[in-house]
């Protein structure tokens, strides 16, 4: 039975799962959504991407999907066999998904020039008929999400200072590497951070690119993971 990843790699969560599948050398097909309605169709449970068809089941949420992939094909493992390190990996994954993600979202949707570029990027691969809907709805929808999450209320200079502190923390956690918490193999934490750093390091958000570019350690980390999962 074919393994199908539903979602577009512009999403850091889809990228995270895509790289996880590549790391485990699991053959899969990718189905990109053709509009917002496809998200709910592909993932009736949460309406978000990614979703994955695995073993006749439709899975949702990048964290749950990677966990299922680790059971489906245990090698290479996505968690350390050392429980304290595995706990840190799970926490870093969750922080990247639930916190770092929102820095990328605010930079995309709260700065008008970036929003214009983001809409252009998203619409590029969508049928012309859904583009006006995206242009109209997406900025409002995401603005309400970033305000509810909280980061969307911060002045931009404060947001960028906080982002810089977090990236400096990541450099500390990476240490001598090659992966987070000094492991020799990438884990769920590395996949999640990789997805979010790629989301920040994007031509649509020059501020995010500059923030990541300041830390050569993070760029080298991304290059390492990219080479193993490309």
190 binds ligand GSH (CB under 6 A): no
Q: How far is the CB of 182 from ligand GSH (least distance, A)?
A: 25
Q: How far is CA 148 from CA 115, 144, 145, 192, in A?
A: 19, 6, 5, 23
CA dihedral 187, 190, 195, 197 (to 10 degrees): 180
| Residue of 77, 52, 95, 49 whose CA lies nearest to 189 | 95
| Closer residue to ligand GSH in complex, CB, 82/98 | 98
* Residue 117 binds ligand GSH (CB under 6 A): no
189 forms part of the interface with ligand GSH (CB under 6 A): no
The verdict on whether omega for the bond into residue 68 sits within 30 degrees of 0, i.e. cis, is: no
> Of the candidates 53, 70, 93, 97, which one interacts with ligand GSH according to CB under 6 A?
97
Q: Does 67 sit near ligand GSH (CB under 6 A)? A: no
> Which phi and psi (to 5°) does residue 10 adopt?
-65, -25
Q: Interaction with ligand GSH in 20-59: which residues (CB under 6 A)?
A: 39, 47-50
Per CB under 6 A, the list member of 63, 115, 187, 202 interacting with ligand GSH is 63
Min dist CB 116 to ligand GSH, Å, is: 19
Q: Where are the alpha helices (DSSP H) in the chain?
A: 12-23, 36-42, 62-72, 83-95, 101-109, 112-124, 131-149, 156-174, 188-200, 206-213, 216-229
- Does the protein bind ligand GSH through residue 61 (CB under 6 A)? yes
User: Does residue 11 touch ligand GSH according to CB under 6 A?
Assistant: yes
Beta carbons of 180 and 217 less than 8 angstroms apart: no
* Residue labelled with tokens 């008929």: 129
**Residue 186 vs 195, nearer CB to ligand GSH:** 195
**Among residues 48 and 224, whose Cβ is nearest to ligand GSH?**
48
Residue selected from 62, 118, 205, 229 as contacting ligand GSH according to rule CB under 6 A: 62
Contact by Cβ (8 Å): 179, 185: yes
Asked if 80 is part of the footprint of ligand GSH (rule: CB under 6 A), the reply reads no
Q: Which residues bind ligand GSH (CB under 6 A)?
A: 11, 13, 39, 47-50, 61-63, 97
């Amino acid at each position: 039975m074919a393994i199908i990843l539903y979602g577009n790699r512009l999403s850091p969560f889809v990228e995270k799962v895509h790289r996880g599948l590549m790391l485990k050398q699991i053959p899969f097909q990718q189905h990109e959504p053709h509009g917002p309605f496809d998200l709910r169709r592909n993932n009736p449970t949460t309406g978000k991407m990614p979703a994955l068809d695995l073993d006749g089941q439709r899975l949702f949420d990048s964290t749950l999907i990677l966990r299922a992939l680790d059971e489906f094909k245990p090698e290479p493992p996505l968690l350390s066999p050392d429980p304290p390190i595995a706990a840190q990996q799970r926490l870093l994954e969750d922080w990247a998904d639930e916190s770092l993600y929102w820095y990328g979202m605010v930079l995309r949707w709260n700065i008008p020039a970036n929003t214009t570029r983001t809409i252009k990027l998203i619409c590029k691969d969508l049928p012309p008929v859904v583009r006006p809907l995206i242009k109209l709805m997406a900025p409002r929808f995401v603005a309400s999400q970033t305000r509810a999450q909280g980061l969307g209320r911060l002045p931009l200079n404060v947001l960028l200072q906080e982002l810089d502190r977090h990236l400096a923390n990541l450099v500390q956690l990476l240490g001598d590497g090659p992966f987070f918490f000094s492991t020799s193999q990438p884990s769920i934490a590395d996949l999640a951070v990789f997805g979010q750093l790629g989301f920040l390091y994007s031509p649509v958000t020059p501020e995010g690119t500059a923030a990541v570019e300041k830390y050569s350690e993070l760029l080298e980390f991304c290059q390492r993971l990219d080479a193993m999962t490309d």
